Structure 1
Amino acid sequence: MYYEIATLTLPFGTAAQAAQQVQAFANAPGAGGELLACWTSDIGVLNQMIVLRGFEDRSALDAARQRTLASPSPFGCGELYQRLELASYRAFDWMKPVRPSAESGIAGPVYEIRTYGIKPGGVSKTSELWAEYLPARERLSPCVIAMVALDGAPRFTNIWAYPSLDARSKARADAVAQGIWPPKGGPAWLTTDMVSTIALPTSVSPLK
């Protein structure tokens, strides 16, 4: 599966309006792909709307990117957003496709979006280690997706769902205490370029 993360930096107080316009843009005839999540940042860089869309193949993702770039109002928010960033991703081959909460049972409402820089040769090593260690880690909290960037700096992004910030802290502490996370040897393949955002679903988000 392929994914796109679009990040819109918005004026203060416009998130509700933007979410409705994002939904309309993503679900319009001919839009392609599937709207999977529409979050607003709560901890990290603020006033951001983070939109996750899924695609069956690379050509569908590329077509959606071209549609966005050609649009006079990308995501229906061309006159609203202050900045738009687009990033394309390919999921680790063994990851299950992201599905809405109603289908998957995965829900927040607290989502953590973590992006790590990755060293040369680290993509396959990271995928192998995550495939080995993630099943034990997911007994503590579900991983929505782990995926590698197809553009920009070499990096991979992983998204986690938690019922609360306290639950996030507990799951992470328990994982370390039990020795099941992070994957042994995994950090050696990462750079120090690491970013984490806590995001909350908007009313239009299929991931709740």
Structure 2
Amino acid sequence: MRYEIATLTVRLGKAASAIAAIDAALKESGAKGRLLGCWTSEIGRLNQIFVLRGFADDVELRQERERMLASGNPFGCGEDVEALDFDSYAPFPFLPPVTPGKFGSVYEIRTYMLKHGGVPPTIAAWEAAVPARVALSPLVIAMYALDGPARFTHIWPFASLDHRAAVRADSVAKGIWPPKGGPQWLTGEMYSTIALPTAISPLA
């Protein structure tokens, strides 16, 4: 299983029309992969749309990437897209595939940069800690990047920002989170975006 996050930075006031275009474009006969999530940024860098898709394997992901790169109108909204970034990921192997559903009105997308060789020990630390952590609130996915610098991204749904704050405080107070041994593999460069699910998002 492979995942991709496409990040579209759109012109001011064009998010709604871009989302409608994305919906139509991903239903075209030539499109590959499965739409899993689509969010707009609420806190963090604004005017961004995040599209999470799942692919059966590297071949399918690469075919779809090449199709997108060859298009003069990616996602059907090229004229409104100021920047388009693609990130390819493999899931932490102990996690189940992403399952669409209604999990929260607020999603947090976090990316942590890793030191050299940090992927295996990070996966091991998370495998030990995630069962207790997801008892407090669900995890959509944790996945490591297959291109670019070493990093991993994790996506968490919450009922609200207050719920997020309460869960995070509770997990730290109980010693559940962060995963023991995990932080030592982080460079300290981290990014977080609070995003809201769009009407076309299977994850809502």
TM-score, length-scaled by structure 1? 0.96
Are the counterparts in 2 of residues 10 and 81 from structure 1 also a CA contact under 8 Å? yes
> Does structure 2 conserve the Cα–Cα contact (< 8 Å) formed by 1:2 and 1:57?
yes
Cα offset for 1:15? Answer: 1.1
Per-residue CA distance 1:133-182 (angstroms, 9 max, x = gap): 00100011111000000111110000000010000000000000000000
Q: What are the superposed Cα offsets for residues 86-140 of structure 1, whole Å, 9 maximum, x if unpaired? A: 1111111111111211xxxx51110000000011111010001101100100011
- 1:127 matched to which residue of 2? 123
Q: Retained in 2: the 8 A contact 1:41–1:200?
A: yes
**1:108 & 1:64 partners in 2: Cα distance?**
29
CA contact (8 A) 1:68 1:74 kept: yes
Matching of residues 185-196 of structure 1 within 5 Å = 185-196=181-192
Distance 2:20 2:196 in 1: 15
1:81 is aligned with what amino acid? V
Letter in 2 for 1:35: L
Alpha-carbon separation, structure 2, partners of 1:151 and 1:121: 14
Write out aligned runs for 1:47-126 (5 A): 47-101=47-101, 106-126=102-122
Q: Secondary structure at the match of 2:29?
A: coil
- Opposite residue 144 of structure 1, the aligned amino acid is V
Q: Which residue of the partner structure matches residue 194 of structure 2?
A: 198
2:90 aligned counterpart, secondary structure: strand
Q: Does the residue aligned with 2:81 lie in a helix, a strand or coil? A: coil
Q: Match of 1:174?
A: 170
Match of 2:37 in 1: 37
User: How far off is 1:27 after superposition?
Assistant: 2.0
Contact 1:35 1:53 in 2 (8 A): yes
Q: Residue 162 of structure 1 aligns to which amino acid in structure 2?
A: F
User: 1:95 and 1:24 mapped to 2: Cα distance?
Assistant: 30
Provide the C-alpha distance between the structure 2 equivalents of 1:79 and 1:181, rounded to a whole number of angstroms: 43
How far apart in 2 are the matches of 1:60 and 1:8? 21
Question: Take 1:194 and 1:26, find their aligned partners in 2: how far apart are those partners?
Answer: 30
Whichever residue aligns with residue 203 of structure 1, its letter is A
TM-score of the superposed pair, with normalisation by structure 2: 0.98
Aligned length in residues = 204
Identity within the alignment, %: 57
